[in-house]
Amino acid sequence: MPFEIRAARLADADGIARLSAELGYPASVEAFESRLRKLLGSAQHAVFVAASADGGLSGFIAIEHRLIIEYGERAEIAALVVDSQARRGGVGRALVAAAERWAAGLGLGDVTVRSNAVRAESHPFYEDLGYERTKTQHVYRKPL
C-alpha cells in the first residue's frame, strides 16, 4: 500500500484518533483536534503522518524538542502508531526517518524514545533502527 510522509494537518485528527485508539489510547476527535492545534502551532513539536492517496492514514509520529536539565537538548519521540494492517510495510521506518530529519534540522544530536515494556514487538523495531536501550524505569502518575 503506497503512502507519503507529510506534516500532519488539523484535518488528520480523526485518523490520528482512530490510530491512537487502536494502540489503547482512545479519545474523541475533538480532543485530538485540540491537541493537534497546540502541537502544530509549536516550534518545539512536530507531527508527521503516513497518508495514502485517498487521504487515509496508516500511521503517525509525534516528536518534541526537549530541554532536560541533566542531559541538555534532545528530541524525543512522544508517539508512534502504525495501523495494524500496515505494519511491517515500511511505514514505521519512514515515520521515524521523518522525525529524525526534523530533529537534525534543529541541530539536535540525539533522539530518544520510550517504549512500554508490554509492547515487546516494538523493542526489536527500534533496535533495528540503531536505538540502544539505555534505561528501564517505572512511570508514576498522580491525578491533580
pLDDT confidence band for 52 (50 / 70 / 90): confident
Largest CA distance in the chain: 45
Whether 16 shows a pLDDT value over 70: the answer reads: yes
Whether 129 shows a pLDDT value over 70: the answer reads: yes
First vs last C-alpha separation in the chain: 44
What pLDDT score does 34 carry? 96
Whether 120 shows a pLDDT value over 70: the answer reads: no
Per the CB < 8 A criterion, the answer to whether 86 and 59 are in contact is yes
Enter the C-alpha cell of residue 26. 482512545
57-111 pLDDT, tens per residue?
Answer: 999 999 999 999 998 999 999 999 998 787 888 899 999 999 999 999 999 999 9
What pLDDT score does 59 carry? 95
22-47 pLDDT, tens per residue?
Answer: 888 989 999 999 999 999 999 999 99
Query: How far is 69 from 91, CA to CA, in rounded Å?
Result: 33
